[in-house]
A = this chain, B = another copy of it.
Amino acid sequence: MSRIAYVNGQYVPHSRAFVHIEDRGYQFADGVYEVFAVHHGRLIGQQGHLDRLAHSLAALQIDWPMGKRPFMVAVNEVVRRNHVTNGLVYIQITRGVARRDHGFPAQCESALVITARKMPALHKPTLSKGINIITIPDIRWKRKDIKSISLLPNCLGKQQAREAGAFEAWMYNEQDEITEGTSSNAWIVTADGELVTRDVSHSILNGITRLAVLEAAAAAGLTFSERAFSRQEAAEAKEAFITSSTSHVKAVTRIDDAPVGNGHIGEMTARLLDLYVAYIEEKGGPVKTDRWS
């Protein structure tokens, strides 16, 4: 059965899903996106994704392509037409089609593309197995809080990780602090047992899964710190993991070719994975989603 995509008002076969060459997303990366996880038939973190999308659009002065209600109807319709019970929905909004010119066009209708795809259901043993990561310089622009499609450095970083036999790359800034992964947030349990993830600013994208894990941890009475942590702290960490809509809570067991702790998923990571799954199954995602930078 062929996949169906939503493209500017129409549901079309994926193979015939096209946009104009002068869509500003294609020529200028002038657009934003969101990826929702679908977990057992349910969209996870719906309010969070909508609020973050609103933040990204406002930061770039791009109009919503339609009201939020019909927008969510379209999102759900793409999920339905693609029979996705476990997987993801990808949403991209660009400023639209206009004659090429860097400044914003006087008149332009925002373009909307929605796709969905099946993926294996969340599987704790797989997430617990542990991945390798490398650390690389963060060469991105200064507005990482905007979930823009300007993802070239992220692609280069992910590719660098792959070529090094790693699943992900953590990026470090000029102060030698870890900012985040190329498509995930970075977490450690320090040598002293402190659960840490970087605080929200223009330096990172505030993940919906990050927020859900923080809420789940708080609800369970766990303490954590939202603060910058250094490459050195990461190298000496007892535990490490990444979070994202598609990686959920995924154990990191090697950083730059050295084992993290005993080289297996840590206790805190395993607990947070359990808490996270229970939390999203109960709440559907994070509840407080009002601060993006």
Contact = CB atoms under 8 A, between A and B. Distances in A.
B151 A28 contact: yes
A271 to B, nearest CB: 29
A141 B23 CA distance: 22
A115 B26 CA distance: 14
Contacts of A183: 102
Copy number in this complex? Answer: 2
Interface of A: 5, 7, 17-30, 33, 60-61, 90, 92, 100, 102-104, 113, 115, 137, 139-143, 148-159, 161-162, 182-183
A16 to B, nearest CB: 9
Contact of A29 (B21, B23, B103, B149): B149
A174 to B, nearest CB: 9
A94 to B, nearest CB: 8
A63 to B, nearest CB: 14
Contacts of A104: 155, 159, 162
Given A155-B104, A158-B102, A158-B103, A113 B21 contact: yes
B139 A141 contact: yes
A286 B18 CA distance: 38
Nearest to A140: B141
28 contacts: A17-B22, A18-B18, A18-B19, A19-B21, A19-B26, A24-B155, A26-B92, A27-B149, A27-B151, A29-B29, A60-B152, A90-B100, A100-B115, A102-B151, A102-B157, A102-B159, A103-B158, A103-B159, A103-B162, A104-B155, A104-B159, A104-B162, A139-B142, A140-B141, A141-B152, A143-B153, A150-B150, A150-B153
